Amino acid sequence: MGTDLVPALLELEDGSIFPGSLAGPDEVIGEVVFTTAMTGYGEIATDASYAGQIVVMTFPEIGVYGIDPAALEATRPALRGLVVRSLQPEPSHATSQLGIVPFLTAAGVPILGDVDTRALTRHLRRAGTMAGRIARTARGGIPEPSCQLVREMATREGYWFAREGAGPVVAVVDFGLKADILRQLAAAGARVFVAPPDAPLDAIDAVHPQGVVLSNGPGDPSLMPEFAAKAREVADRWPTLGICLGHQLLALGYGGTTFKLPFGHRGANHPVGHGSDRPGEVTSQNHGYAVDEKSLTRTPLEVTERHLNDGTVEGLRHKERPVFSVQYHPEAGPGPWEARDTFKRFVASLGGVA
Q: What is the dihedral of CA 337, 329, 116, 2, to 10 degrees?
A: 70
* Cβ atoms of residues 80 and 53 within 8 Å: yes
Residues 6+ apart with CB under 8 A from 36: 58, 59, 266, 267, 268, 269
Which one of the listed residues 244, 247, 270, 318 is annotated catalytic? 244
Task: Tell me the β-bridge partners of 34.
Answer: 56
Candidates 13, 43, 314, 331; catalytic one: 331
How far is 180 from 171, CA to CA, in rounded Å?
A: 15
- 1: helix, coil or strand? coil
Query: Cβ neighbours of residue 30 under 8 Å, at least 6 residues apart?
Result: 52, 53, 54, 79, 80, 81, 131, 132, 145
Establish whether 90 is a catalytic residue.
no
Name residue 256's beta-bridge partners.
none
The answer to whether residue 314 is catalytic is: no
Q: Is 331 a catalytic residue?
A: yes
Residue 73 phi, psi (nearest 5): -90, -10
- β-pairing verdict for 53-57 and 81-83: parallel
Using alpha carbons only, what angle is made at residue 214 by residues 211 and 216, rounded to the nearest 5 degrees? 145
Q: Rounded to the nearest 10 degrees, how much is the dihedral formed by the CA atoms of 39, 68, 42, 307?
A: -50
Q: Which sign, positive or negative, has the C-alpha torsion 45, 28, 105, 156?
A: positive
Which residues touch 286 (CB under 8 Å, ≥6 apart)? 35, 44, 47, 49, 50, 216, 244, 264, 265, 266, 329
The closest alpha carbon to 100, from 160, 162, 46, 171, belongs to: 46
- Point out the residues that are catalytic: 244, 329, 331
